[in-house]
Chain A
C-alpha cells in the first residue's frame, strides 16, 4: 500500500467535507493510504499572495517541511492548495537564500525545509500513480450511460507545472471514461469559475458560472465533475443566484470526481458525502442510467 501525506485544506474541513469523505473512501478502495498531515496550516490561498509573497511561501513551507519529516510525499485534493504548495517548493528550491530565510522562521516550530517532499494533486495520484487500468479492474458498478462534464478549472493545470498539455488535456476525460461514464466534450472545460471573485466581484463571478453551466448543459451533461472545492461551491451553490440574475433554469448536480469514482467502486453514496449538496445528485444519476444504459461515447 502506497502512503501519502494528505493535506485536506481548509475547505475540506466543512464546506467540502464530502470531497474529504469521498477522497478517503476512494483511496482506501484503491489501496492508497492518505495519512493526514498532522497540524497542517492554511496554504495561503490566493489572498496571501495579494498581501505578502514571503508570508505565503512560509505558510506552504511549513506544510512541506512537516511532510518531509514524515518522509512522505504530499497530496492535496484542492487545486488551489496543490498549486500553492507545488510552486512554493519549486521556488524555494530555486532560491536557496529565500529558503534559508524561511528556515530560520520554521526553526520556531522545529522544522526545516529541504524540498524532498513532492507535491501532487489527488487526481494525479489516481490517474498516474494508481493508473486507470488498476482503477478499471476494481470497478463493480460502472456508471454506464452517465453523461459527465469533466470540469478542469484552472489551477490543477495552470500555471504549467512541467511540459504537460495545458490546452488539450485528456486525463479527466480518460478517468471519467474508465468509470464507464461518457465524458462530455464542451468548449469551456478549462475556463475559470470565477474563484474568489464570488466574494469580491459577485457580478463577474456569476456571469462566469452562467457561461460554464450553459456550456455543459448544451453538451447534454447530466452532472459536472470537479477537482476543486471552490469550483464546486461556485458552480453548485450559486446556481440559484445565477438563475435569478439571468432568468435561467439550471439544475445541474456538481460532484467531486472522487464521488463518481466511489460510486463506480461500489461504495454506498452516504459514505461519499452524497446528500449534502444543494442540487441532488442521486436522482439525476439514477434516471440517466435508466434512460441510456451502456451507450458508447459521443
Chain B
C-alpha cells in the first residue's frame, strides 16, 4: 500500500500545449460539487484514517494520497489506482473533512472519468458491474440481482463460484431471489425519456 510512484513517470502540473492540466480536468469534474476545491486540502489525512477500506489496507493509494497525486499532476498513477473503485460511498470522509471537500464525490468523479476514458486498473470488477447495472435498468426500469451477480461469478475462481451458488440457492429456497426480472409498466415512455439524456442508438 502507498508505494512510491515509479521513477520513470513524471508529474505534470503545467498544462499541455493545448488543453487542460490534469488538476484542471479534475477541478472541472467537480464544478457542480457543493464541496470546496481540492486545492484547499491541507493533507491532514482525516479521510484516509476514517475510510474503512483504506485503513483496512485495501487501497493502493489512500484518499489523501490520491488528492496529493492529482495536485502534483501524476495522472498515470491516479488512473491506474484502485482507490476510487474500492470506495463504498460511505461518505465518512466527506462529513469529516475539516476543509469541507466532498471527497466521496471526488471518488465518483474519478470513477466516471475512468469509465469515460475506458482507462482503469485491469481486473477491477467495479466498472463492469456498474455498466451491467446501468444496462439492466435501461432495459427494464428496475434492477435484477441474478444478472448483477454474474459480473462477480465470472471473475472469480471455481471455489468462490460454488460458495456463491450455495448462498444463492439457500436464498432462493427462502424465496429471496427473483426468478424473473420485473419490468416497469410504462417502459416505452421510460426508454424515450432516457434517450433525451443519452443517445442510445438503436434500442436494445
Q: A residues engaging B (CB < 8 A)?
A: 10-11, 13-17, 38-42, 44-55, 58-59, 62, 91, 95, 102, 104-106, 108-110, 154-155, 158-160, 166-167, 190-192, 194-197, 199-205, 207-208, 211, 237-238, 240-241, 244, 276-278
Contacts and interface: CB of A to CB of B under 8 A. Distances in A.
20 contacts: A15-B178, A42-B143, A47-B133, A50-B111, A50-B127, A50-B130, A53-B112, A91-B32, A104-B196, A154-B91, A155-B91, A192-B88, A197-B86, A200-B125, A200-B129, A201-B125, A204-B56, A204-B86, A208-B53, A277-B174
Contacts of B170: 278
Contact of A200 (B56, B94, B124, B182): B124
A17 B56 contact: no
B176 interface: yes
A54 B197 contact: yes
Nearest to A15: B176
B1 to A, nearest CB: 12
B156 to A, nearest CB: 7
B197 A105 contact: yes
Interface of B, secondary structure class, is helix
A196 B91 contact: no
Contacts, number: 186
B90 to A, nearest CB: 4
B129 A192 contact: no
B25 interface: no
Contacts of B90: 154, 158, 191-192, 195
Contacts of B176: 14-17, 276
Interface stretch (B8-16, B72-80, B186-194): B186-194
Contact of A199 (B148, B190, B193): B148
B185 A39 contact: yes
Those 10 A-B pairs whose CB atoms lie nearest each other, nearest first:
A192-B90, A158-B91, A105-B196, A47-B133, A109-B189, A10-B143, A50-B130, A108-B192, A14-B178, A204-B58
B167 A105 contact: no
Given A105-B197, A196-B129, A201-B125, A55 B134 contact: yes
B145 A48 contact: no
Nearest to B87: A197
A30 to B, nearest CB: 26
